[in-house]
């Protein structure tokens, strides 16, 4: 079996890499995993992968196997994709292509739109046009939020709807346009495809190996990070008002659950679109209360959305002019849930309760919210 993977140094991509290698080892598969990875400064692509395979957060089964042995399954494509040699392309024929690389940026700033679009949609188009003539299947890792502003029950199919989708930011829109491109092109070429969409990715929750670990803190973690450091810097905690729809929730799914679903699903021909999400969104008010309690910032209140909102103090201003303005569209969204009947039949969705959510924040705080940049 041949698998090409982009984004192996990213939050989800690294876990997909781990699970593919574990699958090769456990099932004694004669497989090859091709990783499209670039140098980062003076650090070579191979050294970046070696770090991921030999760290204290690497799964035990891979550590026990050893980096040298793991490279019997791995080949790194460290090159300008537009200049791939024919000899390299010949080796990749009939491979499954998992495109996990992406640029997660929830900014609502106009000056960020072009970069967000290019780093998601344009790169996807470039990669697809280059590899589609000889691969076996194209698997695109999107986001469940490409559904945009929705209420009620959200099904897996986002592309046969009787209404136009409205997106909250350029990221959601770019991912949706990428999906449209992949589907249209694959149908035209008669190339099998799959669109897999995780929701907000949280720390590991399966098993006991590196529980709650996540290499980069995004979305709800950013709020926790902001108020953690604010609580440390200021003796006086000024009251912060959060504009929230009390009925709504944030859909969070553990990173290791997502990767295991991807690895157990990408070969299936009966699944074209799948939301990899929790069966129940975590209530926003409860989540905010747990976050603020964990980071020790206790002077806050929940208020409804309004047209006129003047900042009462410096902390409110700092929050709403930084991460707050990008998170607000999610905090005021209508309540919605996802149909997880198919997903749960693939792999049982882990329970996410107040304790496990608090443990995610606690883990991040213990690690000082420091991202691992490989």
Tell whether the torsion through CA atoms of 342, 18, 180 and 335 is positive or negative: positive
pLDDT score for 36: 93
Kindly give the confidence (pLDDT) of every residue in the chain, 374 residues in length, as a single tens digit, with 9 standing for 90 and above. Answer: 999 999 999 999 999 999 999 999 998 888 899 999 988 989 999 999 999 999 999 999 999 999 999 999 999 998 666 666 666 777 889 999 999 999 999 999 999 999 999 999 999 999 999 999 999 999 999 999 999 999 999 999 999 998 999 999 999 999 999 999 999 999 999 999 999 999 999 999 999 999 999 999 999 999 999 999 999 887 789 999 999 999 999 999 999 999 999 999 999 999 999 999 999 999 999 999 999 999 999 999 999 998 789 999 999 999 999 999 999 999 999 999 999 999 999 999 999 999 999 999 999 999 999 999 88
| Spatial separation of the C-alpha atoms in residues 68 and 97, rounded to whole Å | 24
Give the homologous superfamily in CATH for domain 2-202+251-276. Answer: NAD(P)-binding Rossmann-like Domain (3.40.50.720)
CA distances (Å), origin 189, targets 104, 128, 132, 146, 320: 29, 12, 9, 24, 46
pLDDT score for 233: 83
| Spatial separation of the C-alpha atoms in residues 92 and 87, rounded to whole Å | 9
Biggest distance spanned by C-alpha atoms of the chain: 64
Exposure class string for 246-271: b at 16+ Cβ within 10 A, else e: eebbbbbbbbbbbbbbbbebbeeeeb
Spell out the domain ranges in the chain: 2-202+251-276, 220-249+282-335+350-366
Closest to 333 (Cα-Cα) out of 219, 249, 222, 223: 249
Q: Model pTM? A: 0.96
What size, in residues, is the chain?
374
The answer to whether the beta carbons of residues 282 and 314 sit under 8 Å apart is no
Q: Which residues are CB-neighbours of 167 under 8 A, at least 6 positions away?
A: 146, 148, 149, 173, 176
pLDDT score for 339: 97
| Spatial separation of the C-alpha atoms in residues 34 and 86, rounded to whole Å | 15
């Amino acid at each position: 079996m041949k698998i090409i993977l982009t984004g192996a140094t990213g939050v989800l991509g690294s876990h997909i890499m781990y699970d593919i290698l574990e699958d090769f080892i456990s099932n004694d598969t004669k497989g090859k995993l091709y990783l499209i990875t670039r140098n980062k400064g003076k650090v070579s692509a191979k050294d970046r992968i070696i770090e991921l395979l030999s760290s204290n957060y690497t799964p035990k089964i891979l550590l026990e196997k050893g980096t040298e042995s793991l490279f019997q399954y791995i080949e790194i494509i460290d090159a300008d994709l537009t200049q791939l040699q024919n000899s390299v392309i010949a080796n990749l024929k009939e491979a499954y292509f998992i495109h996990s690389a992406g640029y997660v940026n929830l900014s609502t700033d106009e000056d960020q739109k072009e970069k967000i679009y290019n780093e998601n949609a344009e790169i996807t188009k470039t990669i697809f046009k280059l590899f589609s003539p000889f691969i076996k299947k194209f698997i695109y890792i999107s986001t469940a939020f490409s559904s945009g502003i929705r209420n009620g029950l959200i099904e897996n199919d986002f592309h046969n709807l009787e209404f136009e989708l409205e997106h909250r930011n350029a990221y959601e829109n770019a991912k949706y346009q990428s999906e449209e491109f992949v589907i249209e092109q694959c149908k035209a070429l008669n190339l099998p495809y799959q669109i897999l969409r995780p929701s907000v990715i949280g720390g590991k929750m399966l098993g006991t190996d590196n529980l709650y670990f996540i290499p980069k803190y995004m979305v709800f973690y950013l709020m926790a990070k902001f108020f953690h450091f604010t609580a440390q810097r200021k003796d006086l905690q000024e009251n912060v008002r959060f504009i929230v729809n009390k009925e709504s929730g944030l859909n969070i799914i553990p990173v290791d659950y997502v990767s295991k679903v991807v690895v157990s699903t990408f070969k299936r021909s009966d699944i074209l679109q799948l939301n990899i999400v929790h069966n129940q969104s975590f209530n926003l008010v409860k989540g905010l209360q747990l976050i603020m309690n964990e980071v020790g910032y206790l002077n806050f209140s929940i208020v409804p959305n309004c047209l006129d909102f003047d900042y009462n103090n410096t902390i409110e201003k700092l929050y709403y002019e930084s991460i707050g303005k990008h998170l607000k569209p999610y905090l005021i969204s209508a309540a919605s849930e996802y149909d997880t009947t198919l997903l749960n039949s693939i792999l049982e969705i882990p329970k996410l309760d107040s304790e496990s959510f608090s443990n995610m924040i606690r883990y991040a705080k213990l690690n000082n919210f420091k991202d691992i940049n490989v």
